[in-house]
Amino acid sequence: MQKIHVPVKNAYDVIIEKGILQKCGKLIQELNITSAKHFVIITDDNVDKFYADIVVTSLKENGFQAEKFVFPHGEASKNAEILLKIYAFLCKQEITRSDCLIALGGGVVGDITGFAAATFLRGLPYIQIPTSLLAQVDSSVGGKTAIDLPEGKNLVGAFKQPLAVFCDFNTLQTLPEEFLIDGMGEVIKYGMIADAELFENLCQYDLQSIKNHFDEIIPTCIKIKRDVVAQDELDTGLRMILNFGHTLGHAIEAYYHYENYTHGCAVAIGMCLMTKYFNNSQDYKKLKSCVENYKLPTDVPVAIQELVSLCGNDKKRSGSQLHYIVCSPIGTANIKLDSVREFQKHFERVI
Closest CB 17 distance from a copy of itself, rounded Å:
30
Are 86 and 70 contacting, i.e. CB atoms less than 8 angstroms apart?
no
120 binds a copy of itself (CB under 8 A): yes
**How many other CB atoms sit within 10 Å of the CB of residue 239?**
18
Task: Tell me the DSSP string of 259-298.
Answer: -SS-HHHHHHHHHHHHHHHHS-HHHHHHHHHHHHHTT---
Of the residues 29, 57, 119, 201, which one makes contact with a copy of itself according to CB under 8 A = 119
**Local structure of 235: helix, strand or coil:** coil
303 binds a copy of itself (CB under 8 A): no
Sign of the CA dihedral running 313, 315, 320, 323: negative
Q: Which of residues 30-89 bind a copy of itself (CB under 8 A)?
A: 37, 80, 84, 87-88
146 binds a copy of itself (CB under 8 A): yes
172 binds a copy of itself (CB under 8 A): no
Which one, 250 or 276, has the nearer CB to a copy of itself? 250
Q: Which of residues 148-167 bind a copy of itself (CB under 8 A)?
A: 149-152, 154-159
Rg, the chain, Cα only: 20
293 binds a copy of itself (CB under 8 A): no
Of the residues 98, 204, 212, 281, which one makes contact with a copy of itself according to CB under 8 A = 98
Of the residues 3, 5, 49, 97, which one makes contact with a copy of itself according to CB under 8 A = 97
Q: Which of 277, 336, 6, 287 is nearest to 141 (CA)?
A: 6
Which one, 88 or 303, has the nearer CB to a copy of itself? 88
Rounded Cα gap, residues 182 and 107, in angstroms: 11
Q: Which of 292, 298, 309, 238 is nearest to 274 (CA)?
A: 298
292 binds a copy of itself (CB under 8 A): no
Residues at the site binding a copy of itself, with contacts judged by CB under 8 A: 37, 80, 84, 87-88, 91-92, 94, 96-98, 118-123, 144, 146, 149-152, 154-159, 235, 313, 315, 317-319
